[in-house]
Amino acid sequence: MKTITAFSLPELAVDRFRDIVGTEGVLLTDEERNSYRDPYWFQEDRTYDSSAVLFPTSTEQVQAIVAVANDFEIPLWTSSQGRNNGYGGPSGRVKGSVLISFRRMNKVLEINAELAYAVVEPGVRWIDLQEALKESGNDDLMISVPDIGWGSVVGNSLDNGLTYLPYGSDFMAPTGMEVVLANGELLRTGMGAIPGNKSWHLYKRGLGPTLDPLFMQSNYGIVTQMGYWLMRRPRAYAPMFLTIPQDSQLERAIDIVRELRLDGVIRGMPTIQNTLTLSGHFPDLLGQFAGADGVFSEDALQSLADASGVGRWGMRLALYGDETVVEHHVKRVTEAWKEIDGGRVDHHRTFLRHEWNEIVEFGDKVQAGIPNLDMLKTIPEHIGHIGFSPVVPMVGSEVRDVVELIKNLVVERVGTNFVCAIYPFNERSCIVVSSLSFDTTDQEQTEASVAAAKMLVEEAGKLGYGEYRAHIDFMDIAAEQYSFNDHAYRKFCETIKDAVDPKGILSPGRHGIWPARMRQERQS
């Protein structure tokens, strides 16, 4: 397919944007816009360059921006914090797109302590929400957070981003959205469609079709606020770390975790990482992150795993509940792990509700809903990655097959180490997140990694595995794998796109959904 012609932003449109958000709310020069690109992309490559970055401060301003975009048929691409590094960051699919950054729409609109939820604008970061909870005297409420707390609550949720507390399982936390549509109209999903309804952020459905999922990983509207369920701090919290000494034991470990989840012993989302990935958690044991270095031999990896004590794979998990329940579940996990010969179970401490201020370790903080930036300290600035993340049944043999497929291709085609984390985000499936790491100053290595990621998408697709999110450079390839019945799924999505956004201004090409006018250009 052809590449869409780069968009050229008319000066008259720039004037109207300035009228809406002010001169200081419009960035135009390369120097101004350089920080609104993916830092994990080769920086001399301007393929996905924008023409402007806008900073609205209200829903009304977003509606006005959409009106201008309709008048000039300007492709808009939205980001909340723009921290989607490794997937394209804030960059859009069409060169010359106008980026809408929500960093100035950063208000926590509501905290309901009784029903344990918050309502936030898209610029609110995890660390902002945590601070708002503290300031309002509600820090007994926990947020299900990712590893790095600088991202947006809304942005991460809309891109199916992973978080670790029980509400992180299958994206249970997001609920109730306010959305600006392509025609500028304002929509509220679910019970929010009833003026003054008090259950908007409490009940995930409504009357008729449930629309919220239509605005996740899509280009049908712009979310300007969203509810997010919080979890009351438990009486007891037990973070744990379990080792898998030999690579051959991964298969059995996966099956054990599945059964512990199905039994309700593990409620949050654990993460299983291979030795090199664990350097982000144990830099004192494993040294500086080596994902982009030359390939380690199996003997070298095993020696590193043995010497550090973290194993060829290590699993971070947490248990929550009353003290007696947590104590019992610690015993259940420990007993189950005896099947892993030589496997170690580290449970140094159970934190009680009043001891939250004593949680200091990175992994312990994340699983306790304490957002932080600690992981950023362990990865060198020049190292980037592209994520390839297929969804796989939570069956040891299936996971092993996919891990081996990816590992062999990464080592052979890219010539870098295999960096992997496995996330069981529900009881029955997991995401095998493989980061193709590279030196962002090395164009050849960067391009080889991007090419390898595309190849991985296609090779895994042949075996029936699909991405759960994709880098902007290969969104079309990832979408192509969803090909049942002559791509009936994509056709249905395109039908919706053409109906709700006839001029194709909202995030054209996002996850393979192009508006009619651009589909025709790409196919001609």
* Contacts (Cβ under 8 Å, ≥6 apart) of 494: 513, 514, 516, 519
Query: What DSSP string runs through 220-255?
Result: SEEEEEEEEE-EEPPSEEEEEEEEE-SGGGHHHHHH
**């208000």: which residue's tokens?**
107
Distance between CA 169 and CA 268 in Å, rounded? 7
- Cα within 13 Å of Cα(60), Cβ side: 2
At position 514, the amino acid (one-letter code) is W
- Cα within 13 Å of Cα(359), Cβ side: 22
**Catalytic residue flag (residue 468):** yes
- Nearest by Cα to 390 from 301, 456, 484: 456
Longest dimension (CA), the chain: 69
**């990464």: which residue's tokens?**
410
Per DSSP bridges, beta strands 98-101 and 76-79 are: parallel
- Nearest by Cα to 316 from 328, 304, 333, 338: 333
Per annotation, catalytic residue among 36, 40, 87, 465: 87
Distance between CA 32 and CA 308 in Å, rounded? 44
Per annotation, catalytic residue among 37, 233, 258, 469: 469
Active site residues: 87, 468-469
